[in-house]
Structure 1
Amino acid sequence: MSPKKCVFGCEGKITLFSFPKNPALRAQWMRFAFPGQNRGCASVFVCSRHFSDQSFMNKAQFDAGFADRLRLREGAVPTGTEPPHEPSSSAGVQCRSTPALKNAATQTGALCVEMWRRVANTSGLAAKRPRMEEDTHTHRPSGRSDHTEPKYVVFESRLRELFQTCPLCVCECVVQRRRRGAFVAFLQLCRRCGYTKAWQSQPVRGSTPIGNLQMSAAAYFTGGSFAQMHKMCRAMNLQIHGLDTFRRHARVFLEPAVHHKWKTDQQAMFQTLRAQGELTLSGDMCAHSPGRSAKYSSYTLMHLESRRVLDVQLVQSSGGGGRAHMEREGLRRGLDLLKSSQLQVEHLLTDRHTHLTEDLSQRRVKHYYSVWHLQRELLKKLEKLSRSRDGQGLRKWLLSIKNHMFWAAVSSQDGPETVAKWKSLVNHMQNMHTHDDPLFPTCAHPLRGSRYSRKWFKPGSRVLYKLEKLLLNQRLLRDVGKLSHQHQTPALQAFHRLLLRFGPNDRMCPFTGRLCRLYLAAMHFNESAERPLACEEGLMCPDPERRRPTVNTQPTFGYVCELMRLLGDPAVFAEELPVAQTSVGEVRGQSQTCD
């Protein structure tokens, strides 16, 4: 059976009407559809575009979404072959005065039937439309409908008071409500005079209420949890959409906007750095799964001079290879991206991994180690030694050993000098301040007596033998010579702590959801990298001459406003999102977004 079509070939959102059974009225329709012809009218239809607005008895209800199809008045005749203007529905108020009907009760009953049909619908809204396409038949409300427009919490009883009384005959009206999440719509109908009024609390784009979408965006873009926001709203009975709707919003609207914004900002940073020549970067990996085996790991590359995150690569484990292969894969992807963007890396500061040194030597990149990573590994061994029976006096030296490694790195000009200063620590702990190495013959501190003579280790003691074995290990001395002299990684460690706010490890997320949360953390960190300084009491002051320390001011959220603005840009949603790839390049499927 062929589908029903309008006799004039109209397409789109239309309502088809068959020819009436009244012979006189059917003759008028035949003269309009087939002028000068005499033929049958079976299986012939005329669409709603060839009738005037006064020909319909539920035009306002249909435009507001309370009716599935248009209904013709009795005796209506098509008047023109040109399609009329697109139907419009208002996010505010639509009203119509008393129609010219002989029986107002008949019209009231028809409207109630249409209205209750809409209320009985399980979805509560019209049939689903593709959310990625702009609906040309949806009304664009006048005035502001973006995120900057003020919004309020209104009780339902206060809203019903606005529609209880008819403004024409001052009679009590029938008020019907339909709701979807925070979206609510009311239809006011007067049984006496037939006055109708449709009202919506939010503008609608396609089949998505804008207010519901902005609530999901506010939770997602600020790094919050929709589950916590949903729990808070339920505590005060504030109507909100469910988790499935939030996931659909994230998949269709929010994640494409985050991906577009990050790629735009990233290309702007690359264009600025091209004029600076060779770059000095720091890189490190962070695991993002609960438990001892990480399913996802991210590798971050940060520009040390500007303290900005240049790239974040998310690697999904392939089930083999472990952390080392995931870190190598993340670094390879990041360096390939910088190379394709015509950026040259001269120095790279990472943690203590020899497999990275081999890869960087092939790319002709100088590899340095971070003092923080080397300190952390060494202190674990020293703390274990201090808990033994022979190493009780070692605990007082742990902070001094940590500070000495940092001082040896930043006060040296090359690797051999750093090693000489580090080896002098063993003599210093025996109260011997002259050394055999010509690169560092004496200690830099002033020579003075100590009141606590028991803190010095006795030459030949068992604890000194174990301590010397740890501090003068050949592998450790080789790594101490590769410590960075000019740059360190406190900013990178701060970014890794920020990742726990935007993507906690106790929350299971798919690849795209976690990647977009990494992008949000990077945008937040980059925006706050060059904040002005202010003084704040209650913290330890790094400068002893100042009583009030210098700390950063409160962070800003300009990127959130830009992301909210991108929700109304159709070009953003045409971009393809990245898919999950394992450390060996295998493409994996994607699941639902995290909450």
Structure 2
Amino acid sequence: MADEHLCAVAGCNAKRRDIGISFHALPKHVAVRDEWITFLGHGNVKNHTSVCGQHFTEDCFTNWQEKKMGFVSKLFLKPDAVPSIKTPSTGQPVSLPSNVTSAAATQTRDVGCQWEPQKRGRATVATQLSEYTLKSNRSKAIQVNPSTSSFGSNTEVKAEFGGFTSTPDKTRPPPLKRRRLETLLDDAEEEPVDRSQSTYHPSMSSLSDSTIVSPPTPIQDIVKYLVYEDCLLALFHDCPICQRTCELEKYVRGTFLSIRQKCPFCDYSRQWKSQPIIGSTPAGDLQLSAAVHFTGTSFRQISKVLSALKVCNIVESTYFLHASSFMEPCVFAVWKRTQADLIKTKSRPGGAELGGDMRADSPGHCAKYGSYSLMDLNTGKIIDVQLVQSNECGGSAKMEKEGLIRSLDFLEKSAVKVASIVTDRHSQIQKFLRIERNDIEHFYDVWHIAKGVSKKVEALAKMKDCNELKRWQQSLVNHLYWCAISSSSGEEAVAKWTSFSNHVQNIHSHDNVLFPECLHPAFDGSCPKKWLKSASTALFKLQRIVSNKYLLKGVAKLSPRLQTSAIEGFHSVILRFAPKNVVFSYRGMLCRLYLASLHFNENGNREQLTSRDGTPAYKLKYPKHKKGKHTIQPLKKKTSYAYVDNLMRVFFDEVLHEPAKFTVELQELKIPDTLCSQFHRPDKQEAVAAYVSRFSH
């Protein structure tokens, strides 16, 4: 029928070019002739008489579903189709019923898509496949019936992601330009609510309620799977229209994969992308770099694992670019926020009780970096970490004092009053706190002094006529701890300590008013312990250790209550984030120290596990330094990594949107010159020539 022919139904003036749906000749079989005549309202039914598609229900067409999904542009009637929708008396064409949706319906936008899909008349379920791939019949490549909606798919790829675009399908609606949020809200006010939707509720009639949708899952929380290439390409092998073999073109960049599917028979084409694009970078590349950096893992180790699995990965230069541009500013900002919250709790009238110690990145006096850590001994939280490079203070031996000075200056600027500090017996720290910061009470950690005394006694026990001192080694260490925790002053601790020389001779009365006699019960003589004889070589050498003046000064300043053993545990955590056999830049080392602090503050005070009957759980261990002796270790709850999730959230929600805001403070950080900058740098060609000539002889 020609385009200018009108619909034969009385009162319907729709033309073919206006409706956009094909006309077909009326059925010639006699069985439905009377029904056609009754519907048209006259008796002259000719072979060329036609009606438009608005007068038929959807079950009258053979390809209604394909037209609805956009696969075809024309509708075809069934042989026994009969029109059942009449034209109103006003003469205006009747719209299709609510259960029939036109292919030219208004468009709405799906969440996560960069193009405007078609509006549907019923609620849909999200899927990651493109809209034009899905169809009503079941595909051979999958085991479920696909939905008719799309989620997270893009129909075009920028030039930097492969340089190709999908061939536009004439049957597909052109992609609309992304509209501003204000325009979308204005349109939502004017758009009527479709009460035929299964999800409609009267309480959703207002603007604030009608525009509410379930929030999309954040990119960092979307679950990923390990998919084999053959299994993935099998989904695009057959054309969803004609079921023939399609031509596939793939593009890979890092962890990103894009597949262009084109059918050479029906000109069907579409493009699928494996992950969203943030700016001009695949989200998977960013999240992989963030996951490696935030967990303190080595990228080279992860790269070897992925290479062994034959998984596509980013190159090392890309990782370091992401780390310097995004991850390091994110770690720096999150640590500063956490540190500010910790400092707020330290503003007590009595002042904070802190513990400090330094950890070098290599043993001896050849260390490049020294990190000084300050811990609140009452809560077990790291409140400050200072990184010092050896050329900043004149050598690695002076890094510990410089780190303490920087930490105390930072706390003073933060209005934190320090009441006392517990450290080891570093001579520079002693002098600094005694002269320049005498307002802070200084204590020594017992473990550091006890370790030195134990080593000296162990060395004496190996000498001639001193073998019996081996029996007193552990007793001497225990006595030192008892002197620290049971004394109210330094003089009393020294009096108790020096009484050990009499105790080993079975003499328990002492010429000291602060500690006149031993507190243990009297021995009845049946004790099997062998006492040291007076004027013996073993007793003489033991008394020299116990009465050493430098040791007595240390015993007088032993910490009676708080110790720095937790800081030693923090140093072992740093080894996981910054191993000593790996070289880091100044900013990289600082950020890894902050990551170790976040990890320790979250897991340092984990609760102890208990058995079913409520008994605390312990583990028996045999460490190497015990030399065959056992030790008891409490079993703690499983380590948590909530700080990594927080870093991921800040990274995707804040840093990626305003990276300059986070890099300002990090760029103001003063980075010292490299250690080799103070030496003369020879010409490379001359150095190579000298090297070659030297070994050529």
Counterpart residue number, 1:502: 577
Q: Deviations over 1:11-32 (max 9, x none)?
A: xxxxxxxxxxxxxxxxxxxxxx
| Alignment gaps of 5+ in structure 2 | 1-112, 117-126, 134-155, 166-176, 182-214, 611-615, 622-631, 678-697
- Hey, what's the Cα distance between the residues in 2 that align with 1:497 and 1:152? 34
- Hey, what's the Cα distance between the residues in 1 that align with 2:299 and 2:246? 38
Q: Which has the higher contact order (CA 8 A, sep 6+)?
A: 1
Deviation of the 1:358 alpha carbon:
2.9
SS of the equivalent of 2:386 reads strand
- Hey, what's the Cα distance between the residues in 2 that align with 1:151 and 1:521? 27
In the superposition, the TM-score normalised over structure 1's length comes to 0.72
Deviation of the 1:324 alpha carbon:
3.8
* Further displaced range: 385-394 or 264-273: 385-394
Counterpart residue number, 1:34: none
SS of the equivalent of 2:421 reads strand
Counterpart residue number, 1:289: 362
Task: Output the amino acid matched with 1:152.
Answer: Y
Match of 1:241 among 301, 305, 314: 314
- Hey, what's the Cα distance between the residues in 2 that align with 1:360 and 1:229? 45
Counterpart residue number, 1:577: 666
Q: Does 1:206 align with 2:279?
A: yes
- Hey, what's the Cα distance between the residues in 1 that align with 2:660 and 2:591? 14
Is the Cα contact below 8 Å between 1:93 and 1:198 reproduced in 2?
A: no
Task: Output the amino acid matched with 2:459.
Answer: K
C-alpha change, 1:310 and 1:427, in structure 2 (3 Å) is same
Deviation of the 1:216 alpha carbon:
2.3
Is the Cα contact below 8 Å between 2:369 and 2:387 reproduced in 1?
A: yes
Q: Deviations over 1:125-164 (max 9, x none)?
A: 9xxxxxxxxxx99999x94342211111111111111212
Q: Deviations over 1:500-555 (max 9, x none)?
A: 112111111111111111111111111124433322645259xxxxxx98543122
Task: Output the amino acid matched with 1:307.
Answer: G
Deviation of the 1:292 alpha carbon:
5.2
- Hey, what's the Cα distance between the residues in 2 that align with 1:433 and 1:305? 37
Q: Does 1:431 align with 2:506?
A: yes
Match of 1:561 among 645, 669, 684: 645
- Hey, what's the Cα distance between the residues in 1 that align with 2:343 and 2:393? 34
Q: Does 1:398 align with 2:485?
A: no
Match of 1:473 among 526, 548, 567: 548
Deviation of the 1:390 alpha carbon:
3.5
Is the Cα contact below 8 Å between 1:289 and 1:508 reproduced in 2?
A: no
Is the Cα contact below 8 Å between 1:290 and 1:505 reproduced in 2?
A: no
Counterpart residue number, 1:187: 260
Q: Deviations over 1:237-293 (max 9, x none)?
A: 222222222222221221111111100000011112224541110000011136651
Counterpart residue number, 2:592: 517
Report % sequence identity.
Answer: 38
Is the Cα contact below 8 Å between 1:300 and 1:309 reproduced in 2?
A: yes
Q: Does 1:457 align with 2:532?
A: yes
SS of the equivalent of 1:283 reads strand
Q: Does 1:157 align with 2:227?
A: no
Q: Does 1:539 align with 2:619?
A: yes
Match of 1:302 among 375, 396, 405: 375
Task: Output the amino acid matched with 1:218.
Answer: A
Q: Aligned runs of 1:271-286 on 2, under 5 Å?
A: 271-275=344-348, 277-286=350-359
Q: Aligned runs of 1:36-47 on 2, under 5 Å?
A: none
Counterpart residue number, 2:220: 147
| Alignment gaps of 5+ in structure 1 | 1-86, 98-113, 126-135, 542-547
Q: Aligned runs of 1:2-17 on 2, under 5 Å?
A: none
- Hey, what's the Cα distance between the residues in 2 that align with 1:430 and 1:139? 91
* Structure index of larger Rg: 2
C-alpha change, 1:256 and 1:139, in structure 2 (3 Å) is farther
Report the count of equivalent residues. 467
Is the Cα contact below 8 Å between 1:88 and 1:138 reproduced in 2?
A: no
SS of the equivalent of 2:428 reads helix
Counterpart residue number, 1:105: none
- Hey, what's the Cα distance between the residues in 2 that align with 1:381 and 1:354? 20
SS of the equivalent of 1:281 reads strand
Task: Output the amino acid matched with 1:423.
Answer: T
SS of the equivalent of 1:250 reads helix
Is the Cα contact below 8 Å between 1:252 and 1:573 reproduced in 2?
A: no
C-alpha change, 1:366 and 1:234, in structure 2 (3 Å) is same
Q: Aligned runs of 1:223-234 on 2, under 5 Å?
A: 223-234=296-307
Task: Output the amino acid matched with 2:651.
Answer: L
- Hey, what's the Cα distance between the residues in 1 that align with 2:178 and 2:462? 75
